[in-house]
């Protein structure tokens, strides 16, 4: 078995690594503590489409596994070159659902030394909440956070407590829909490029969210004010890039920006009007994401239809950032010994 990535044990500034193996992407983030957050030292992201064909077969295909293994090998190489104090690696919806998910992760460990841990939908929502807490502000009573992934969509309903210039967040409830950009793209295909097909997806998603809305009285809370809507996913960052008319995607301009309803709706309409060729040529989309943008926009449109918060806060952050913050905070609190626990 290959050696696990070499990790820093003493001397030098501590670095931490977080790896997220999703249904559509494989992402790695390496950061060092800086103030109340962290400074990015290195990152990696590659579309691997691990969940391709999963809805039809219930299994991860060999081709999809090979793509993911190639990306994970690149992550392992980065970790060999830049030792870290601690590593967390997680796998999400594709590995949760696939009958051969655990066998694939054993193959990953044998090939790369990495051992991603399959996390629950609740932990996924908690990590997204952790990463987005710094976007909360004084006056926020509640937050509605959504993460449109490749194989599922997680929605978190959050209680906000403010004081001493900072806000804290508590998860009140969450829901995980088995609908993501990959699963929808495979099921609805070209129909999402038509008005009727797009509307059908919007209504399907909205119907699946209605019970969650009733349980938590979210619509009533929105009418009372003080509810922040936060979106973290490629869908909402793409909407922001279009709304801001960026000639190329720039994270510092997107992360934390706010889109009012009119600007977000205009960006969605612009994306829909582009068609396949236009989406492939757009600097904030590109050919690899053409099939996934409109299914993601349909999920977003359903969320906005059911929960019409006037402003969307856009977050270019998610599970990796949440994992890094947990590791850094645990070390600062003395809750983690300096050293590497594989598979943590």
33 with 75, same domain: the answer is yes
91 with 136, same domain: the answer is no
Give the SS3 label for residue 334: coil
The answer to whether residue 7 scores a pLDDT higher than 70 is no
Q: Is residue 26 part of a domain?
A: yes
Element (H, E) at 12: none
For 57-124, the three-class secondary structure string (H helix, E strand, C coil) is: HCCCCHHHHHHHHHHHHHHHHHHHHCCECEEEEEECHHHHHCCCHHHHHHHHHHHHCCCCEECCHHHH
137 with 283, same domain: the answer is yes
Q: Is the sign of the CA dihedral 312, 272, 254, 94 positive or negative?
A: positive
C-alpha–C-alpha distance, residues 43 and 149, integer Å: 19
CATH number for the domain spanning 223: value is 3.30.420.150
C-alpha–C-alpha distance, residues 336 and 328, integer Å: 9
**Residue 175's beta-bridge partner residues?**
155
Say which residues have a Cβ less than 8 Å from residue 241's Cβ, sequence separation at least 6: 249, 254, 283, 284
Q: What is the pTM of this model?
A: 0.89
Query: Which pLDDT does position 122 carry in this prediction?
Result: 93
Q: Is the sign of the CA dihedral 71, 76, 80, 85 positive or negative?
A: positive
97 with 20, same domain: the answer is yes
Confidence band for 8, pLDDT divided at 50, 70 and 90: very low
Q: Cβ distance 125 to 152 under 8 Å?
A: no
Q: HSE of 326 in the Cβ direction (CA atoms, 13 Å)?
A: 20
Q: Is residue 127 part of a domain?
A: no
178 with 260, same domain: the answer is yes
Confidence band for 162, pLDDT divided at 50, 70 and 90: confident
213 with 90, same domain: the answer is no
Q: Tokens 């409109």 identify what position?
A: 294
CATH number for the domain spanning 58: value is 3.30.420.40
106 with 166, same domain: the answer is no
Residue range(s) defining the domain that contains residue 172 = 132-309
Confidence band for 166, pLDDT divided at 50, 70 and 90: low
Query: Which pLDDT does position 125 carry in this prediction?
Result: 92
165 with 269, same domain: the answer is yes
**pLDDT tens per residue, range 219-264:** 999 999 999 999 998 999 999 999 999 998 899 999 999 999 999 9
Element (H, E) at 43: strand 37-47
Q: Cβ distance 317 to 236 under 8 Å?
A: no
The answer to whether residue 305 scores a pLDDT higher than 60 is yes
283 with 219, same domain: the answer is yes
Alpha helices in the chain (DSSP H): 54-57, 62-81, 93-97, 101-112, 121-132, 181-188, 195-216, 218-224, 234-243, 251-254, 261-281, 290-306, 319-332
Q: Is residue 108 part of a domain?
A: yes
Provide the mean pLDDT of the chain.
Answer: 90
Q: Is residue 341 part of a domain?
A: no
Domains in the chain: how many in total? Answer: 2
pLDDT over 90 percentage in the chain? 82
Confidence band for 172, pLDDT divided at 50, 70 and 90: very high
The answer to whether residue 133 scores a pLDDT higher than 70 is yes
300 with 160, same domain: the answer is yes
Q: Is residue 343 part of a domain?
A: no
Query: Which pLDDT does position 344 carry in this prediction?
Result: 36
């Amino acid at each position: 078995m290959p050696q696990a990535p070499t990790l820093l044990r003493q001397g030098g500034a501590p670095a931490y690594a977080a790896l997220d193996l999703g249904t559509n992407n494989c992402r790695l983030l390496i950061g060092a503590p800086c103030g109340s957050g962290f400074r990015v030292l290195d990152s990696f992201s590659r579309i691997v489409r691990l969940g391709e064909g999963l809805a039809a077969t219930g299994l991860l295909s060999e081709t999809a596994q090979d793509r993911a293994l190639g990306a994970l090998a690149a992550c392992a190489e980065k970790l060999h070159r830049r030792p870290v104090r601690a590593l967390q690696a997680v796998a999400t919806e594709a590995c949760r659902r696939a009958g051969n998910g655990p066998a694939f992760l054993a193959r990953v460990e044998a090939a790369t030394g990495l051992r991603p841990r399959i996390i629950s939908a609740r932990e996924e929502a908690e990590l997204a909440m952790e990463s987005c807490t710094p976007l909360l502000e004084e006056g926020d009573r509640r937050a509605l956070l959504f993460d449109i992934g490749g194989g599922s969509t997680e929605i978190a309903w959050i209680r906000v407590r403010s004081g001493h210039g900072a806000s804290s967040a508590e998860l009140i409830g969450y829901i995980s829909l088995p609908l993501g950009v990959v699963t929808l793209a495979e099921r609805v295909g070209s129909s999402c490029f038509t008005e009727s097909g797009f509307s059908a997806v919007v209504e399907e998603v909205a119907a699946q969210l209605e019970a969650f809305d009733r349980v938590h009285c979210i619509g009533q809370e929105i009418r009372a004010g003080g509810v922040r809507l936060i979106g973290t996913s490629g869908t909402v960052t793409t909407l922001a890039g279009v709304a801001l008319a960026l000639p190329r995607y720039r994270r510092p301009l997107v992360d934390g920006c706010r889109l009012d309803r009119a600007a977000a709706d205009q960006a969605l309409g612009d994306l829909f009007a582009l068609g396949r060729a236009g989406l492939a040529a757009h600097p904030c989309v590109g050919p690899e994401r053409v099939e996934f943008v409109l299914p993601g926009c349909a999920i977003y449109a359903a969320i906005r239809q059911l929960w019409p918060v006037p402003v969307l806060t856009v977050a270019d952050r998610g599970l990796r950032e949440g994992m890094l913050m947990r590791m850094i905070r645990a070390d600062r609190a003395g809750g983690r010994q300096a050293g590497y626990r594989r598979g943590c």
